Amino acid sequence: MPSHWLSLSATVSEARKAAVSSYLLGQGANGLTEHHDDLNFHDGDGPLVSGEPSEWRPPPPAAPDARVKITGWFPDEGQAAALHAGLTAVLDGIGETDEPRLEVVPDQDWNSTWKKNFGPTRIADGVWVVPSWCEAPLEAAAELQLRLDPGLAFGTGTHPTTARCVTLLRERLADRAGASVLDVGTGTGILAIAALRLGAGRAVGVDPDKNSVAAARENADLNDVGARFDVYPGSVDHGPDGTYDVVLANLIAPLLVRLADGLAARVAPGGVLIVSGLLAKQRAAVVRTFAERGLTVDRELLEDDWCAVQFRGSS
């Protein structure tokens, strides 16, 4: 492994990001990252689309400001100046004025570094997320513990959006043992697993990312609910046909709007749709979208400018 890595990035228009990505990959980048200012919540666990965006149907929304930062990661083998000069020429050729940024990043045990910041967390009253490599704290002994190993999937379950979904799930399932659940964009499977541990009968998770599908299945086994949790690659229109008592979608607001038809169609008569991943300022547009499809607001929670809304379907 190299002792250092090179991070080479530039911010360009959505329409021209392919040219930058092609250059970076053509020069041997080990990986690429995209950063959208208004779609990245800077906390390591925001409600972003997981997996390869091109696999989503419909695709995820473009950056609100139509600009995206593309970063390529290279082993530091003495080619920093050449890479920087090459990207400068590419940007000049496509009419972009941004100056490429080059950083040298020391190598480290990335996985261990990340794990240091993820420990047992109470995400809702009486509900804990406990990483698989940690012991549960004494105060969690009498409470529900959700064992989790994110692997390469998205989401540790500690973001306010996830926590508010768990709160709504707990309320909804308190007197509805055996309910059916669909979790759209399941990621690590945390919401579907919480639903099963809180009394749901069966759950289906869908996610376009193969790493998420694998992680969700493994986490289901960690929590002894694997026999009642089926995970499929894809989006809301994948998995078994039919409707569900509870439909979950912890996704960004523009994607909730785009998937509204499919989500609404999955809600059983008298069932609920629990959505999150939206900011308070985005609430009105999301509520209006689902109201147009016959769903009414039944309950909602707001914390740190994040909303979770429970809609009720018609009986």
Structural domains for the chain: 4-107 (3.30.70.260), 151-312 (3.40.50.150)
As a residue count, the chain comes to 315
Please name which of 154, 176, 155, 165 lies closest in space to residue 124, comparing C-alpha atoms: 165
CA of residue 27 relative to chain centroid, distance: 30
Please answer whether residues 238 and 55 qualify as being in contact, where contact means their C-beta atoms are separated by less than 8 angstroms.
no
What residues are paired with 180 via a beta bridge?
A: 202
CA–CA–CA angle 39, 52, 309 (5° rounding): 45
Residues 246-262: pLDDT tens digits? 999 998 888 899 999 99
The pLDDT of residue 196 is above 70: yes
CA of residue 1 relative to chain centroid, distance: 29
Q: Exposure pattern of 187-203 as b/e (b: 16+ CB <10 Å)?
A: bbbbbbbbbbbbbbebb
Residue with tokens 């540790």, as numbered in its chain = 156
Backbone angles phi, psi at 271, to 5 degrees: -85, -175
Residue-level pLDDT at 112:
52
Instruction: Work out the percent of the chain whose per-residue pLDDT is above 70.
Output: 82
Question: What three-state secondary structure class fits 58?
Answer: coil
Residues 1-58: pLDDT tens digits? 445 688 899 999 888 888 898 888 888 887 777 776 655 444 444 444 444 444 444 4
The pLDDT of residue 110 is above 60: no
The pLDDT of residue 173 is above 80: yes
Residue-level pLDDT at 277:
84
Report the relative pairing of strands 67-75 and 127-131 from DSSP bridges.
unpaired
Tell me the pLDDT band of 128, cut-offs 50, 70 and 90: confident
Residue-level pLDDT at 301:
93
For 254, residues 6+ apart whose C-beta sits below 8 A from its C-beta are 60, 61
Q: Provide mean pLDDT across the span 199-211.
A: 92
Residue-level pLDDT at 85:
93
Residue-level pLDDT at 151:
59
How far is residue 55 from each of residues 38, 50, 137, measured CA to CA in Å? 21, 10, 39
Residue-level pLDDT at 116:
57
DSSP 8-state code for residue 96: -
